[in-house]
Amino acid sequence: MAHFVLSFMFLITLTIFGFLDKIESRSNARMYLEAQCQTAVYHELCIETLLPYVANNNVLGPEQLARVSLVVYLTKARQTKEYVNMVAKHLNETNHGNDQAIEECMRQIKDGVDQITLSVKEFQKMGETAEENFVLHEGNVQSWVSTALTDADTCVDGLLGDEIGGKEKAIIRAKVLNVKQLASNSLVLFNRFSSRHRASHIVKNP
């Protein structure tokens, strides 16, 4: 009986220490991301977006964090596009007809998804081509992410009227605003990476 109790207590101790290690790991990861996201306008969102990828003692540098941020942003943008398409389809099926604000938002979100897809692919090329091409790829990524950010802004501005129902309007705006914030954070993290890379590799403008 005493042996069983000791074994049980040992297992509990291991469990407690494992739990404390996880808390400490997550705390350290958050402190690291506090520094990495310090210039982001949407600071807390930046941290929460990246925390799952660094909480298990995964040390991600500026380049990897920028890549993760772009991929998460692309995923959210695609999900938002699917939702807007679903709302538009539902309105058509219920005889509400095509709503101009939603149709325009669909075009903007689709364009934004296309732009960020190009950005992710271009980012990949930065590590595959010669160093002298870095500035070219850098400019393309910055331009495409900025365009996608503008697309999200345009979509939100178009939803300020009363053409669609309150619930649909609120949900779409919330989703698009989240996409906009992710775009802003992705651009900040990418610029952080690219500026550090340029400094360490003495990258010159063409």
Q: What digits encode the pLDDT tens for the residues 7-37?
A: 544 444 444 434 334 444 567 888 899 999 9
Selected residue with higher pLDDT from 136 and 167: 136
Domain 60-201, CATH: 1.20.140.40
Q: Evaluate if residue 205 carries a pLDDT over 90.
A: no
Which tens digit of pLDDT belongs to each residue from 72-81? 999 999 999 9
Task: Give the integer Cα–Cα distance in Å for 106 and 112.
Answer: 10
Six-digit token string for 94: 């219920």
Which tens digit of pLDDT belongs to each residue from 33-76? 999 999 999 999 999 999 988 866 667 889 999 999 999 999 99
Six-digit token string for 8: 């049980």
3-state helix, strand, coil split of the chain in percent (to 5) is: 85, 0, 15
